């Protein structure tokens, strides 16, 4: 690939404050995550800021929450015993189908979430949980709000997920297994509260709020599940791209939401 991006200067800060200062020195200064997509861009970066010396690659657990550092790789998410033991393992399940192990060793959680990629499987799974992003300046923001609004130029330090007794399911539809998802769905259940998250619409993941609410209120019958899945496909917007049309995504949404609900109820 003709390399059109360029890095003029390279910095490896030892503190987040230092990284933040560098980031705001020039508009085009850029934080480096996994760099998986860097070379596909055309940017000239005055200073590239490498976050790999800040110890942000840890997955930690305490009584109330799980923290995933921004520089944690998808591969680390995939094999993390903490993440496999919680939320029915949906975070590892969501990342493990993404290309190969050598790719997942490159891609980082922070860059993915910060970039709010529409195609992301990880974000959809995360959105079904009680998740927050921790920004250096912006502080703690619920993931849904962050996805909706983004943020001022800031450093995403980690993701925090509150530990609850959550059942969760993740389903993605791909044509080739090595491809991006045409649509992905995560469903979670915590007592009587449900969250239905749908991503790769192809826009970024969103919660189907009405469908999630209806599910929490009604009888959990086959008919109700059908109704909820139809509602989810109706209340969300979908778009077309080369992987699928809007209409097909609607069909998939209904099918995958139904499967997700049945799984968390099982």
Partner 1 sequence: MKIVNQSITKIDGMDIATGKPVYTDDLVNVKALVVKILRSPHAFAKIKSIDVEKAKKRSGVACVLTHQDVPNQRFTMAGQSYPEPSPYDRLVLDEYVRYVGDEVAIIAAVDERTAIEAMKMIKVEYEILEPVLNFEEAIGHPSVIHPEENLEVNFDIGMKREKNIAATVLIENGDMEEALKNSPVIVEETYYTQAQAHGMMETQRAFTYLDVSGRLTIVTSTQIPFHVRRIVANALEIPKSKVRVIKPKIGGGFGGKQNASVEVFPAIVTLKTGKPAKIIYDRKENLGCTSSRHAMKIKVKLGADHEGNIKAVDMEALSDTGAYGEHASTVLGVAGYKTLPLYNTAKAVRYSGEAVYTNKMPAGALRGYGVTQGIFALESAINQLADQLNMDPAEVREKNLIKQGETNPILSGSKAGEPGKLDSCTLDRCIEKGKELIGWKEKYPSQRVSDTKVRAVGMAITMQGSGIAGIDTAAVTIKLNDDGLYSLLIGATEMGMGSDTILTQMAAETLEIGMDKFIVHGIDTDLSPYDTGSYASSTTYVTGNAVIKAAEDLKGKMMRQASGMLGVPLKGLRFKGDTIGVINHPDKQVSLNEIAADVGAGEGKQEQLMGSGTFGGDKSPPPFIAGFAEVEVDLETGKIVLIDYVAVIDCGTVINPNLARIQAEGGLVQGIGMAMYEDVLYDKAGRMMTNSFMQYKIPCRKDINKITVAFEPSYEPTGPFGAKSIGEVVINTPPPAIAHAVFNATGVYVRNLPITPEKVVKGMMESSK
Partner 2 sequence: MKINVTVNDEQLEMEVGYDEFLVEALRRYGFNSVKRGCDTGCCGLCTIWINDQPTLSCSSLAVRANNQKITTIEGLQEEATDFAKVLVKEGAEQCGFCSPGFIMTILAMKRELKNPTEEEIIHYLTGNLCRCTGYLGQLRAVKKYMGVV
* Contact by Cβ (8 Å): 8, 46: yes
- Report 165-184 residues binding partner 1 (CB under 8 A): 173, 175-180, 182
Q: What is the dihedral of CA 85, 89, 148, 251, to 10 degrees?
A: -160
Residue 256: name its binding partner from partner 2, partner 1, none (Cβ under 5 to 8 Å by kind): partner 1
Residue 150: name its binding partner from partner 2, partner 1, none (Cβ under 5 to 8 Å by kind): none
Distances in Å between the alpha carbon of 183 and those of 174, 176, 264? 8, 13, 19
DSSP helix/strand/coil, 94: helix
* Contact by Cβ (8 Å): 243, 180: yes
Residues shown for the chain? 266
Residue 252: name its binding partner from partner 2, partner 1, none (Cβ under 5 to 8 Å by kind): partner 1
Classify the phi-psi angles of 239: left when phi > 0, otherwise alpha if psi is within -120 to 50, otherwise beta: beta
Residue 96: name its binding partner from partner 2, partner 1, none (Cβ under 5 to 8 Å by kind): partner 2
| Interface segment toward partner 2; rule CB under 8 A; list 98-106, 165-173, 190-198, 242-250 | 98-106
Binding mask 195-234 for partner 2 (x = CB under 8 A): ----------------------------------------
DSSP helix/strand/coil, 91: helix
Q: What share of the chain is helix, strand, coil (3-state, %, to 5)?
A: 40, 25, 35
Residue 93: name its binding partner from partner 1, partner 2, none (Cβ under 5 to 8 Å by kind): none
* Euclidean distance between CA atoms 137 and 31, whole angstroms: 15
| Interface segment toward partner 2; rule CB under 8 A; list 4-12, 23-31, 110-118, 192-200 | 4-12
Contacting residue, 50, 57, 210, 226, with partner 2 by CB under 8 A: 50
* Euclidean distance between CA atoms 146 and 172, whole angstroms: 23
* Euclidean distance between CA atoms 102 and 64, whole angstroms: 32
Contacting residue, 1, 192, 217, 219, with partner 1 by CB under 8 A: 1
Q: 6 or 24: whose CB is closer to partner 1?
A: 6
- Residues forming contacts to partner 2 in the complex (CB under 8 A) are 1, 3, 5-10, 32, 34-36, 38-40, 45, 48, 50, 52, 75, 96, 99-106, 177-178
- Residues forming contacts to partner 1 in the complex (CB under 8 A) are 1-4, 173, 175-180, 182, 242, 244-245, 247-248, 251-252, 254-256, 258
């Amino acid at each position: 690939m003709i390399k059109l991006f360029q890095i003029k200067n390279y910095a490896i800060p030892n503190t987040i404050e230092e990284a933040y200062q560098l980031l705001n020195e020039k508009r085009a200064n850029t934080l480096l995550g996994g760099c998986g997509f860097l070379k596909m861009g055309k940017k000239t970066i005055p200073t590239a800021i490498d976050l790999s010396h800040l110890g942000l690659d840890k997955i930690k657990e305490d009584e109330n929450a799980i923290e995933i550092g921004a520089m944690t790789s998808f591969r680390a998410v995939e094999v993390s015993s903490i993440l496999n033991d919680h939320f029915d393992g949906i975070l590892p399940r969501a990342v493990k189908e993404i290309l190969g192990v050598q790719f997942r060793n490159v891609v980082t959680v922070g860059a993915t979430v910060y970039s709010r990629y529409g195609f992301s499987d990880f974000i959809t799974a995360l959105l079904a949980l009680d998740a927050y992003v921790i920004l250096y300046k912006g502080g703690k923001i619920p993931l849904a709000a962050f996805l909706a609004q983004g943020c001022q130029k800031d450093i995403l330090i980690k993701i925090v997920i509150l530990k609850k007794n959550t059942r969760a399911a993740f389903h993605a539809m791909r044509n080739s297994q090595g491809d991006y998802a045409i649509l992905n769905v995560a469903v979670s259940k915590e007592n009587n509260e449900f969250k239905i998250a749908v991503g790769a619409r192809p826009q970024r993941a969103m919660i189907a709020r009405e469908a999630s609410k209806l599910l929490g209120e009604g009888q959990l019958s086959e008919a109700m599940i059908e109704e909820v899945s139809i509602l989810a496909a109706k209340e969300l917007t979908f778009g077309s791209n080369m992987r699928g049309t809007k209409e097909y995504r609607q069909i998939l949404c209904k099918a995958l939401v139904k499967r997700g609900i049945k799984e968390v109820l099982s």
